Every structure is written in structure tokens, then in C-alpha cells.
Amino acid sequence: MSPFFLFIYLIFGGILGGLLSTIASMASLATYPVLLSVGIPPVYANTTNDAALIWTGVGSTASSLKELKGHWKQVSFYSIFTIIGSALGCMLLIQFPGKIFEKIVPFCIAFSGLMILFSGEIHLGNESDHPNRLVQALSLLCLLIAGAYAGYFGAASGVLMLVILNAISDDDFLTVNAMKNIIGALSNLVALIIYMFTEKIYWNAAIPLAIGALIGSYFGPRIMRHIPVKIIRLVIAVLALIQAAYFAYTAYK
């Protein structure tokens, strides 16, 4: 593939990832295989992926200012937990060799596919105006774990954050999803900073992927306002399980 067509290919992969990030929290299900398809090894595909996906937060934030009005303090508070978790997840990835990571990835993707089916149905709160303190404490702990997962691999971490934020917020889905987009982007930013000094990042692939991610993430929230999310979740879940089967075959054959 010529450099020009490779650049265009990565941009389109980024656009799809940006759309999936803001619509279904599954950007890595598009961008990670795209990076593998151009010959980048699994661990480095993951670190390069983080470098590109921070721009999904920029695009989605610009497109979701209406939903985010009055919620910046919440976003800042929740981000503390996911940022700490993301740093822990990065340390785990650095410690484990690439072959181990390659064997874990299929299970992460399969988990992503299952989680996307239930992300709109799970709610841990109660009928009162505010969830009880135990639910809040558990939810914040879960945000920490979701941040660690985001730093380690990323796929479905946004779905986990979406489920958790639904548990501790009475806001509508679009608002919770907008908060999730920013929190997830900050987790990716922390991962990028760590990986810049500890792992290799393929910037020639990250840059066009980031351009596409910025474009896709800007239009994603606008699309969400018009297309039934359940249909999108179902399609992505099926694709995720197919991908998981393929990566399991390549890792364990």
C-alpha cells in the first residue's frame, strides 16, 4: 500500500473509531485491528491506539457542550479515579510481555461485545434522588478499575464507565455519555504520557488515526440524537464477538 493510501486508510479507520467511541464506547474495536492490519505488533498497536484516541475527547466535547453544561465539577471528580486507574493499567502492560498481551486481547474483545449489549440496561442506583453511600463507594472503586482497564487495553472501558456513571447519576443518557467521553479521553491522555517514555509509539500511524478520530468523535454525538442506540449496540456486539474469535484463532493456533 502506498503511503498516500495508507494515510487515507488510517484516517477512515480513525473516523470509524471516533464514531464508535462516542456512540457505543467501542473505538478500539475499529482502531486496534486497523493498526494490526498495517503490520504494527499487538502491544505497540495498543500504545499507538492510545496516542490517537485522546482526540475523541476533543471532538466529542466540542459537539456535546450543551449536554455538559453544569456537569464539569462531576467530570473533574470522576476523572481523578479513572486517571489513577489508567496509570496502574499502563504499569501492568509494561510489565507483561507482548505474547501474554496477545493472548489476553481476544477475551478483552469478547467481554467488550457482551458488555455493549447490557450497557443501556444496567443501573445500580435506587429510586431516591441520590444513590446510597455504599453504591457510590463501589461505583468510584469500579471507576478506578475501569481506568486500569483503559490503560491496559481500552476496548469496552468506555462501556464500563458508562454503566458506572449511570449508577451514580440521575442525568439522561446523552449527558452521561458526554461525561464518559471526556473521562475516557483523559484516561487515554495519561496512558499516552506514560507510554511516550516507556514504550514505542508509531507516530506515522497515530497522526492520521487521530485526525480521523477527531472527525468521527465530533459527529458521533450528533448521530446519537437521531439513530436508535440499541440497533448500533447489537451490530457492534456481533462484530466484537467475530473479532474476538479471529484474534483467539491467531493467538492460540
Instruction: Give the start-to-end residue ranges of the domains of the chain.
Output: 3-252
Predicted TM-score (pTM) of this structure: 0.77
Give pLDDT tens digits for 228-247: 767 767 777 787 788 788 77
Average pLDDT score over the chain = 82
Where helices occur in 169-228 by DSSP H, the ranges are 173-198, 203-224
Give pLDDT tens digits for 137-161: 888 898 898 888 888 876 667 777 8
User: pLDDT band at residue 252, thresholds of 50, 70 and 90?
Assistant: confident
Give pLDDT tens digits for 211-232: 999 999 888 888 777 777 677 6
User: pLDDT band at residue 31, thresholds of 50, 70 and 90?
Assistant: very high
Helix, coil or strand: residue 154: coil
Give pLDDT tens digits for 99-128: 777 788 788 778 777 776 765 555 555 444
CA dihedral 35, 39, 44, 49 (to 10 degrees): -10
Helix, coil or strand: residue 128: coil
